[in-house]
Amino acid sequence: MLLTLFLFFLSALAIYLACEFFVNGIEWCGRHMKLGATAVGTVLAAFGTALPESAVTFTAVAFGSTPQQRDIGVGAAMGGPLVLATLAYAVVGLALWRNRQRLQRSNHRVIVDHQRLSHDQLAFLAIFVLKVALGLVAFAIKPWLGVLFLVAYAVYVWREIVTADTAPEEEELEALKFRPHNATLGWAALQVLAALAVIAVASHTFVGQLESIGVAFGLSPHLVALLLSPVATELPEIMNALIWVRQGKERLALANISGAMMIQATIPSALGIFFTPWLFDGPLLASGLITAAAIILLWRMFRRGSVDSRVLAPVGLLYGVFALYLAITFHA
C-alpha cells in the first residue's frame, strides 16, 4: 500500500511538472504558427493532452477481450466530458478567486471570449445529445454513424483555425524551457512531444494506482471506472488550466477545456460506436444527463457576456451529485 501511495503522488507530481513544459512549448508552437490564444487552447493544447486518453479508449473498445474491458472504454467516453464540464471549470473559478490579488485583478471577472465559448457550448451540447440518444436505442447501421462524430470534430477544428485571431500576442512568453535563447518551432515541438510522453506514462501510472486505492478501500471496480478513473484521465487538462490561470491566462485555460470537451464528445464516442453496442445503463445515462445540465448552465453564463469566477466554482458540485447517485446505486 505504501508503494501504491508513493507512485500515486509521484505520478501526480510528474503530470504537473510535465504540464509546465507542455503549456510552455505549446504557446511557442502557437506563436510560430501565428495562432491566437483561443485556437492554441482549443486545437493544439486540447488535441495534445487528449491523445493519451483517446488511446486508452481505443485500446479498451477495440482490443478488450471481455465486455467489462470494453465497458471501461465506453465509461471513459462518457466520464471525460462530465469531469471537464464540472470539475475543470470549477478549478478555473477557484484558481482565479485564489490568485486574484497576485494577478492584481480589481474584480472577479473572467477575461475570455464569451461569445466564442457560448457557441462552443451549444456545439458540444448538440453533439453530446446525439451520442446519448444513440446509447438508448439499438439498430443495425449504428456503427456507421460513428463517422459523423469524426466529421464533426474535423469541422470544429477547421472552424477554430479559420476564425482564429492571428494578430500577434501582446504579452511576452516565458522562455522556452528546452532552448531559452533559440525558441524555434522545431525545439518547441520537441518539448511538447517530450512532455506528452511523460504525461502519457505518468497518467497511465496514476490511473493504475487510483484503481488500486479504490479496491483497497472496498470500492466497486465499476464505481472506480465511472467516478475516479475519468478524473485521472482528465488530470492533464485540469493541470494545464491551473498553470495557465496562475499566469493570468484564463483565456487559454478555458479554451483548452472547451477544445478537450469537443474531442471527448467526438473521437472516443466514434471509437465506442464503431467497436461496441453503445448501449447505456443507468449510471451512464445519469452521467450524460448531468453533463448536459452542466453545459446548459455554462452556456447561460457565457451568453451573458460576463462571468464571475466565483460563479464558475459551484459548477463542480454537479460532479458531487453524480458521485452521490453512484454511491446510492451501488450501495443498494
pLDDT string in tens for the chain (332-residue length): 788 888 888 888 888 888 888 888 888 888 888 777 677 777 777 877 776 667 667 766 776 666 666 766 777 788 889 999 999 999 999 999 988 888 888 788 888 888 888 888 999 999 999 999 999 998 888 889 999 999 999 998 888 877 766 554 556 778 888 888 888 889 999 998 998 888 878 877 877 777 777 777 776 666 777 777 788 778 888 888 888 888 888 888 888 898 888 888 898 889 889 888 888 888 889 999 999 999 999 999 999 888 888 889 899 999 999 999 988 887 75
In angstroms, the CA 101 to CA 98 distance is 8
- What the block records as the C-alpha cell of 118 is 457560448
pLDDT tens by residue, 66-101: 666 676 677 778 888 999 999 999 999 999 998 888
Identity of the amino acid at 244: W
pLDDT of residue 85: 93
pLDDT of residue 65: 63
In DSSP terms, 104 is beta-bridged to none
pLDDT of residue 318: 95
pLDDT of residue 209: 79
In DSSP terms, 109 is beta-bridged to 308
Q: How many residues make up the chain in this entry?
A: 332
Residue closest to 86 by CA, chosen among 269, 305, 298, 301: 298
Locate cell 453503445: which residue?
278
pLDDT of residue 294: 95
pLDDT of residue 168: 47
222, 52 Cβ separation under 8 angstroms = no
Q: At what angle do helices 282-303 and 317-331 cross, to 10 degrees?
A: 170
The upper half-sphere exposure of residue 8, i.e. CA atoms within 13 Å in the direction of its Cβ, equals 14
pLDDT of residue 286: 92
